[in-house]
Structure 1
Amino acid sequence: MVALASGDRWRLIFCQTILTLVVTIARSEEIFLEWHVTIDLTLKPMSVDQPVITINGMFPGPLINSTTNDNVHVNVFNDMDEPLLMTWNGIQQRKNSWQDGVSGTNCPIQAGMNWTYVFQTKDQIGTFFYFPSLNFHKAGGGFGPIRVNNRAIIAVPFPKPEAEFDLLIGDWYQHNFKDVRSKLNTTVWAYHMPPDGMLMNGKGPYLDPFTKAHESFTVTRGKTYRFRIANVGIAWSINFRIQKHQMVVVETEGSYTNQITLDSLDVHVGQSYSVLVTANQEAADYYIVASPKLSNATDNSSLVGRAVLHYDNSTTTPNGPLPKGPDPFDLDFSLNQAKSIRWNLTAGAARPNPQGTFNVSNVTLSQTFILQGSIIDINGVPRYTLNNVSYTTPDTPLKLADNFINGSDVYNLDEFPVNSSNPVAVDGTFVATGNHKGWLEIVFKNDLNVMDSWHLDGFGFYVVGFGHGKWTPELRSTYNLYDPVVRSTAQVYPGRWTAVYAYLDNPGMWNLRSQHLKNWYLGQELYVRVYDADPDPAKERPPPENLLFCG
C-alpha cells in the first residue's frame, strides 16, 4: 500500500466528498404505476347520467407525485371501447418525444390492451396535469394532477406549507362526450355551443340542487397551505378567488414566480398555478369560487364553480354573497395581471443555480413563426385553422414515419406558411422545422372573439410580450426580456397577440396546439420537428422496446 502525503489525503477526501455530492444530486427514484382507464356511468358530476372516464375508479385520476429527475412508469390498461392515448401536459419529455402521448408521436392503445409509458421529470419542478389526448376524451374526464417536487438540496423559495391541495377546475359538457364529438361537424356545435357547468375536482357547485357532492378543503386557523390549481377545462378561462382570503402566487407550470398577493387569479385553459393561502380568518366556512371569463354567468349558475374552505373547528356554513371578482369582460385587468406574473430570478428550481441564469436579454433569434388562429368551413365542414391551415391526423404517427419510413410519404415538411396565412383554407398534415438549439420566436394572433391559449410540448415558453392590433417587428422593443415568466401554456386575448420565445434544445417531434379542446380537435395544431442528425442517444433516445406500430 502506498502511503499518501497529508496534502494528498485531504485532496482525496475532498474528491470523495464532491463525488458523493454529485451522486446525491443526480439520484432519482423509479415510480411504478398501474392504471385502469374505463368509463363509469354512476358518477353523475352534474344533473344527468353521462359516461365519465375514470382511472382506477377515480375522477379526477390519481396524483402522480414525483421529484425532479424521477423516472415514472405508467402501465395504462385501456378498458374503454375505443383507442386511447394519455399526454403529460407540461412534462417536457427531455430527448424523448416517443413518450409524449399525442397522435403525432404514439400509436393509440387499442381497446382491451395496455402499454407502459416511461418518462423522466428531467430538470423540472412544478404543477402540471395529464389528460387523454385522442377522440375528444378530455370532455369525458380522464385527467389528473402531477406534482414535481424539488430535490432536497434545492431550497424552495417560501416556508414549507402545512399541507398541499390539488384543485383541478374545468368547464364541463352535460352530454356524452361521444355525442358532442359527433356533433362537432355541425356549425352550431363547432362555433357556438358553450359548456354547461364548472367542476372542481370532478364535483359540481356547492349548493347546486342537482349536485351529488361538492369539493371541500379543511384547514387550521393560522396555518398556510399550498393550492396547486389547474384549469383542465374545455373552453373557458376562469377567475379564481376565496372569500375573505388573499393568495400569494409562487409558481406556475414549473417556474417560481415573484411572489405577488392577489384577491383573485385568472387561470386560462391548460394553465397551472401554485398559490399560498393562509387561514387567517375567524373559524367558519368560506366560498371558493371559479367563474368563467367573457361570460354573464350569475352567482347561482352551474357555470360558476363553488367549493368550500372549511376551518377544522367551524360550525358555520358559508354565508353572504359570493366574493366578487373582476368584470369578466375587463380584458385590461386580465392582461395587466398576466404582465405582473414574472420570473423569480433569484430562486433555484430544478438546478442549484438561480432561474435568472437562463435569461433572454441577449439571445439571437433564429426563427420567427407568426401564427393566426381562425375558424372557417372547409369542404362544407367547420374547421379551426392556423394560418388558414387545418391539421389532418394521418394513420401513421409522424414520429414513426420520421424514424422508420420516408416521412414525406406521411406529412409535408416545411410547406406550412409560418409567417402568413395560406391564401385558400386547406386541411392537411403539415410539419414545420424548428432549428435545433436555436431560439424560436412565436407570435400568436387571435382573430376569434373568445380567449385562446397555446401550448408547445417539449419546451417552456418565455412569455415576452402582449399587445393588441397588428404585430410588427418594431413591437419587440416593448417585450419584457429581463424577467419573463417561463411556462408551458400562454393565453391569447381576443383581437390581440402574445409573443413567446422557446429555446429548441430538445430534439423530437413536438405538438403545438390550441389548449381549447374543440379548436384542437377540429384542426388548430401544428407539429414542430426539432431534428439532430447525430444518432447519439445522449441527444435523443431511440424508440422504446415496447413501441406500438400502426398505419
Structure 2
Amino acid sequence: MASTGYHRRLIACTMLIAAALFAQVNAIHIYLEWNVTLDSTIKPVSQDQPVIAINGLFPGPLINTTTNDFVHVNVFNNMDEPLLFTWNGIQQRLNSWQDGVSGTNCPIQPGTNWTYVFQTKDQIGSFFYFPSINFHKAAGGFGPIRVINRDVIAVPFPKPEAEFDLLIGDWFYDSYKSTRATMCTHLGAYYTIPDITLMNGKGPLGNPMSKAYESFNVTQGKTYRLRISNVGNALSFNFRIQNHQMVLVETEGSYTDQITLDSLDVHVGQSYSVLVTANQNDADYYMVASPKLINASDFTSLVGIGVLHYSNSISQVSGPLPVGPNPFDLHFSVNQAKSIRWNLTAGAARPNPQGTFNVSNVTLSQTFILQSSIADLYDQIPRYVVNNVTYSTPETPLKLADYYVNGTGVYQLDDFPVQSVNADASCGVSVVTGIHKGWIEIVLKNNLNEMDSWHLDGFGFYVVGFGIGDWTAKSRDTYNLFDPVVRSTVQVYPGGWSAVYAFLDNPGMWNLRSQLLKHWYLGQELYVRVHDPDPNPAKERPPPENLLLCGIFSDSPPPAPPPPPPPAPALALAPPSSWN
C-alpha cells in the first residue's frame, strides 16, 4: 500500500511538472506600449478637468490575455508626477517586483519609461488595472484585463455571442489634485462624496453634465457576457438591467455556482462576470448602477445609467428606471454575498476542479484581526488607521530594502499589532510576517459608518464569513468552509466583519489594503512579507534587469543581496488550492 501511495504521488508530481513545462512552452508574449498623459480634451462630463489617458483612451486599452501568457507593458510617463500601475487581482506568482504599488516598486518618473513584465500564471477571469499612487485613480488611468481559458480547459457555460467590459465607478468634478488636497482636511477625510457615476468613462443617460452615455448593442435571442468592475473611489453600487435577469458565472478568477439575479451588488475594487440573454421585445432597456448607503433621490447624478440596445429596436428607453433593493438594507447585501459560492465541479486554469482542495480541514498557522477606523493624529490631520496605526509610506520601497539590506533602516518587521488595537493612534511602516505555505485567517472589522472593501495582492483568498456586529471566536461557527468563493477583494459592511482564509504559497512583499481610495491614501494598509529562504530557482524571482532605484539607493547601486542558505534537501508540493 505504501508503494502504491508513493507511485501515485510520483505520477502526480510528474504530471504537474509536465503540465508546467507544457504551459511554459505554449505561453505567448504580449508586448504593449502605453503613453500615459494628462488629457484635458476628453471631458467625460461637462467640466474642465485633466483625465489620465493611455494612448489617448479613457478608460485605457483592454489587456486581453490567456492563462500563462507573459505581458510586457512599456509605460511612458508623460505626466508631471511620478506614476505606478498595479494589476488588480493578477497574482504575480513569485514576482512581487512587478506588483506596482509603493511597497514594491520605485515610481516611474515624469519624462521616463519603464517596462512591467508579468505572467498571468495559473489564472483566468475578469480583472482591471489602475494607477496606484498620488490619488491618480481619481483621474482615470484604469482599464480592463481579461484572462481567458486555454483551449484544453472547458468553460462551464456555452460560449456567449460577445463579451462587454463594463467599468463603473464614482467620479469627482474637481481635478484629482484638488480632491487630493481636500482629503487631507477634516472636510475631505470625513465627508467628501463623489459627484457622478460613469460607465466606461461616460456619464448617465439624460444627465445635463454628461457628454455621452454607454450603450451595448445586442441581438434578440443571443446571450452576452458582461464583465463588470467597480473602478470607483468610494461607493458600492447595485447593478441591474430593465426587464432582464443576470446569471452570475465568475468573480475575480473563480467560476461561481450559477445563480440567477435581478440585481448585483458590486463593491469598490470587485469584478464579476454575468450572462445576459436578450430575450425581451425589440426595444431599448436601461442599465442602472445605483449607489449603496446613499439616498439616490438626493444624489441623482450618482445613479449611473446606460442602455442595452437591441439591434432591431423600434423604440428608445422609456418609463421609470428599474427599482433595486433598498440601498440601506444590509441584510439583502449580506445574504446575496453569502449566496455567491465556488463552483466545485468547474476547472479554471488547470483541469482539476476548483474545489479539489477545500478549507474545511486546514490547520491555521496565523490569525490577523484588523480593525478599521479614523483618528486625528498629532498633526491634527485625520488619518484612516488599522488597529490604530496609519501606514506611512517610506521613500524606499519595502521590497528593495528587504532584498538588499534585510529591511534595515526602512521598516521594523512585525512592529505592528495583528490581533490588538493600540491605545493611541500612531504612524508606522506596517510590515508583518506571513508564514510561507501556512494558512492565514484574516478577520476584517469595520468600525466606520461606511462600506469598506479590502484587497490582498498576490493571492486569491477564500471568503468564509460575513457578519454584522462584533466578531468573536464563536463567529467561526458561522463560516462556510465547504464552498467559499475564492477572490481577491471582499466587502466589509459598516459595523460588521468579514473573514477570509489564504494559503501563503506565493513568496513576496504583498500589499493588504482598503480599496476605497480615500482610505488607502490616508493610511489604511499594511504589507505582508511572505519569505521563503530556499534559493531554488523555482522560488521567488530575482529583481528584474531594469530595476528602478530610489530612496536610500538613489545615489549609489544597492549592495549585493545577502547570500542564500543552502538549498532544501527535498521538493515539497504545494496543495492543490494553489494549482488553480
Q: Distance in 2 between matches of 1:260 and 1:356?
A: 18
2:143 matches 1:144: yes
Tell me the CA shift for residue 468 of structure 1.
2.0
2:95 matches 1:96: yes
- Residue 516 of structure 2 aligns with which residue? 516
Tell me the CA shift for residue 21 of structure 1.
11
- Residue 446 of structure 1 aligns with which residue? 446
Please list every run of 5 or more consecutive structure 1 residues that lacks an aligned counterpart in the other structure: 1-14
Partners of 1:292 and 1:328 within 8 A in 2? yes
Tell me the CA shift for residue 492 of structure 1.
0.3
Tell me the CA shift for residue 22 of structure 1.
6.5
Tell me the CA shift for residue 315 of structure 1.
2.7
Report the AA paired with residue 468 of structure 2. Answer: H
- Residue 124 of structure 1 aligns with which residue? 123
Report the AA paired with residue 63 of structure 1. Answer: L
- Residue 259 of structure 2 aligns with which residue? 260
Q: Distance in 2 between matches of 1:130 and 1:469?
A: 33
- Residue 465 of structure 1 aligns with which residue? 465
CA RMSD of aligned residues (A): 1.4
**Pairing of 1:180-191 with structure 2 (within 5 A):** 180-191=179-190
Q: Distance in 2 between matches of 1:525 and 1:531?
A: 19
What TM-score do you get using the length of structure 2 for normalisation?
0.91
- Residue 287 of structure 2 aligns with which residue? 288
Please list every run of 5 or more consecutive structure 2 residues that lacks an aligned counterpart in the other structure: 1-13, 552-580
3-state SS, counterpart of residue 490 of structure 1: strand
Q: Distance in 1 between matches of 2:35 and 2:136?
A: 15
Partners of 1:449 and 1:494 within 8 A in 2? yes
- Residue 561 of structure 2 aligns with which residue? none
State which drifts further: 43-52 or 200-209.
43-52
2:363 matches 1:360: no
Tell me the CA shift for residue 408 of structure 1.
2.9
3-state SS, counterpart of residue 332 of structure 2: helix
State which drifts further: 307-316 or 133-142.
307-316
Q: Which deviations, in whole Å up to 9, do the C-alpha atoms of 1:315-368 show, x marking residues without a partner? A: 311000000000000000000000000000000000000001121010000000
**Pairing of 1:383-402 with structure 2 (within 5 A):** 383-402=383-402
Partners of 1:199 and 1:305 within 8 A in 2? yes
Distance 1:512 1:87, change over 3 A: same
Tell me the CA shift for residue 23 of structure 1.
3.0
Tell me the CA shift for residue 470 of structure 1.
1.8
Q: Distance in 2 between matches of 1:252 and 1:386?
A: 27
Q: Distance in 2 between matches of 1:356 and 1:327?
A: 34
Q: Distance in 2 between matches of 1:523 and 1:75?
A: 29
Report the AA paired with residue 93 of structure 1. Answer: Q
Distance 1:290 1:527, change over 3 A: same
Identity %: 74
Report the AA paired with residue 520 of structure 2. Answer: W
Tell me the CA shift for residue 485 of structure 1.
0.2
3-state SS, counterpart of residue 413 of structure 1: coil
Partners of 2:233 and 2:268 within 8 A in 1? yes
3-state SS, counterpart of residue 361 of structure 1: helix
**Pairing of 1:321-360 with structure 2 (within 5 A):** 321-360=320-359
Partners of 2:391 and 2:430 within 8 A in 1? yes
Partners of 2:79 and 2:110 within 8 A in 1? yes
- Residue 224 of structure 1 aligns with which residue? 223
Tell me the CA shift for residue 474 of structure 1.
1.9
Tell me the CA shift for residue 24 of structure 1.
6.5
Distance 1:330 1:21, change over 3 A: closer
Report the AA paired with residue 535 of structure 2. Answer: P
Partners of 1:299 and 1:322 within 8 A in 2? no
Partners of 1:461 and 1:490 within 8 A in 2? no
Report the AA paired with residue 479 of structure 1. Answer: Y
Q: Distance in 2 between matches of 1:342 and 1:482?
A: 9
Partners of 1:70 and 1:120 within 8 A in 2? yes
3-state SS, counterpart of residue 123 of structure 1: coil
Q: Which deviations, in whole Å up to 9, do the C-alpha atoms of 1:137-170 show, x marking residues without a partner? A: 0000000000000000000000000000000000
Tell me the CA shift for residue 534 of structure 1.
1.4
Q: Which deviations, in whole Å up to 9, do the C-alpha atoms of 1:114-134 show, x marking residues without a partner? A: 000000000000000000001
Q: Distance in 2 between matches of 1:399 and 1:413?
A: 12
- Residue 409 of structure 2 aligns with which residue? 409
Distance 1:22 1:377, change over 3 A: closer
- Residue 67 of structure 2 aligns with which residue? 68
Distance 1:474 1:139, change over 3 A: same
- Residue 248 of structure 1 aligns with which residue? 247
- Residue 528 of structure 2 aligns with which residue? 528
Partners of 1:140 and 1:177 within 8 A in 2? yes
Q: Distance in 2 between matches of 1:404 and 1:525?
A: 23
Report the AA paired with residue 361 of structure 1. Answer: S
Partners of 1:298 and 1:304 within 8 A in 2? no
Partners of 2:369 and 2:443 within 8 A in 1? yes
Partners of 1:25 and 1:153 within 8 A in 2? no
Partners of 1:45 and 1:204 within 8 A in 2? yes
Distance 1:423 1:194, change over 3 A: same
Tell me the CA shift for residue 26 of structure 1.
5.4
Tell me the CA shift for residue 90 of structure 1.
0.1
Partners of 1:251 and 1:257 within 8 A in 2? yes
- Residue 171 of structure 2 aligns with which residue? 172
Q: Which deviations, in whole Å up to 9, do the C-alpha atoms of 1:269-310 show, x marking residues without a partner? A: 000000000000001110000000001012981100000000
Report the AA paired with residue 142 of structure 1. Answer: G
Q: Distance in 1 between matches of 2:344 and 2:182?
A: 47
Q: Distance in 1 between matches of 2:336 and 2:233?
A: 22
Q: Which deviations, in whole Å up to 9, do the C-alpha atoms of 1:222-274 show, x marking residues without a partner? A: 00000000000001000000000000000000000000000000000000000
Distance 1:355 1:524, change over 3 A: same
Partners of 2:23 and 2:68 within 8 A in 1? no
